[in-house]
Amino acid sequence: MVDVKILTAISSRFVLCAALSLTISACGGSDSASTVTPKVPTTPTPPIGTIDDEFTSWLTDLSHQVILPNYLTLQLSSEVMAVASQTFCDLNNPTQNGLTSLRSAWRELNLAWQQAQWVRIGPILDHNRNLRIQFWPDSKNIVTRDLETLLAEPAVVDVAYIASRSVGGQGLPALELLLFPTSTQNSLTNTSASNNQAKRCEVLKAISENVKNISTDVYQEWHADSGNYVNSVISGTGEFTSVKDSVEELITNWLEQIERVKDDKMLIPLDTADDASLIEFYLSDAALVSIKANVTIFKEIYTNGEGHGFDEILIDFLAQDTIATQMINKIDAVLIAITTIESLSGSYTHLLNDAEGRVAIENAIQKMRELRDIVSIEFVQAADINIGFNSNDGD
């Protein structure tokens, strides 16, 4: 059962997702550094309650205003993708317009996933669900091999079959290969016998249904009316030893995502610009829009929008006004740097090989480093929390 509070939080996000695929502005987060007005220091008053009370308020708003709405968006987008796949494949003569609509459904699904991607606790990790939705980075070309195996399978490939196979052929990257093939010969609009379009559609529908099932399971297991994992997060019970432990796990997730975006999505492609296969979703040119979706969630993690954010905890409870201001400034600097990249002409692949593009990407990487550093040092010290984060590149 979907409660009214979550549906209210999700409604504006889901509408914005469709616009994101065309405008490269991310749903669920601010579109520019100025969208969310930083909370400013007020006259200091003696703290009321305990730090655990503050942490509980942050966890409550993060769960109900950020995580659950994003998982609901993912579920709804996956349902749209599954229906779109079935509708397209039911056509006797599939058209380019039909394929364009199907691709749009995939783009919206990817944006929903990118907003939820940072969470690495609980149901999303069970049964390798995160890898089944997106197996990436893929330096060994496993997704391509797994998809080729599925297309060569003489038996019917249905959702049960997909779910039992290698993770590389189960999610968004495999769908991208089907929807954005490198050769027009392999297009889903090509109904010639040599293309075996019927088999491609069979696999497309099965993978889409698989992603829908995974997304539905994750949302239901989080929701209070079913699995109620949200209660464990907020109360610091179950797999968590305390409320503080729950906070520490989520802040660690955030730091890991900062590092993942900086390294896997930006630094490695910059260092190997001649190898487009290392770029996330390079066939669909969805790399930059995915990065934008990733970084816009950073401010929501910190402020909880209009909810009880860590900015309020630092200012009103811990009297750490300077760190609170620096955190907002560093997050905004990342958003501005990414906006600068998207203002340039050309695909992300082109920008990685363009002098002006490389300068802009290098600047964004540096801003990501600065954000990582303040979160992993000054912020965690001010909040008196411990994290399990280690920098991947040691810089």
Lowest model confidence (mean pLDDT) among 228-232, 254-258, 390-394? 390-394
**pLDDT for res 389:** 78
SS3 readout for the chain: CCCHHHHHHHHHHHHHHHHHHHHCCCCCCCCCCCCCCCCCCCCCCCCCCCHHHHHHHHHHHHHHHHHHHHHHHHHHHHHHHHHHHHHHHCCCCCCHHHHHHHHHHHHHHHHHHHHHCCCCCHHHCHHHHHHHHCCCCCCCCHHHHHHHHHHHCCCCCCHHHHHCCCHHHCCHHHHHHHHCCCCHHHCCCCCCCCCCHHHHHHHHHHHHHHHHHHHHHHHHHHCCCCCCHHHHHHHCCCCCCCHHHHHHHHHHHHHHHHHHHHHHHHHHHHHCCCCHHHCCCCCCCCHHHHHHHHHHHHHHHHHCCCCCCHHHHHHHHCCCHHHHHHHHHHHHHHHHHHHHHHCCCCCHHHHHCCHHHHHHHHHHHHHHHHHHHHHHHHHHHHHCCCCCCCCCCCC
Residue 37 pLDDT > 60: no
Lowest model confidence (mean pLDDT) among 28-37, 71-80, 307-316? 28-37
pLDDT digits (tens, 9 = 90+) for 93-128: 999 999 999 999 999 999 999 999 999 999 999 999
Average pLDDT, the chain: 90
**298 confidence band (pLDDT: 50, 70, 90):** very high
Residue 168 pLDDT > 50: yes
Q: At what angle do helices 96-116 and 172-179 cross, to 10 degrees?
A: 160
Is 4-383 a domain of CATH 3.90.245.10? no
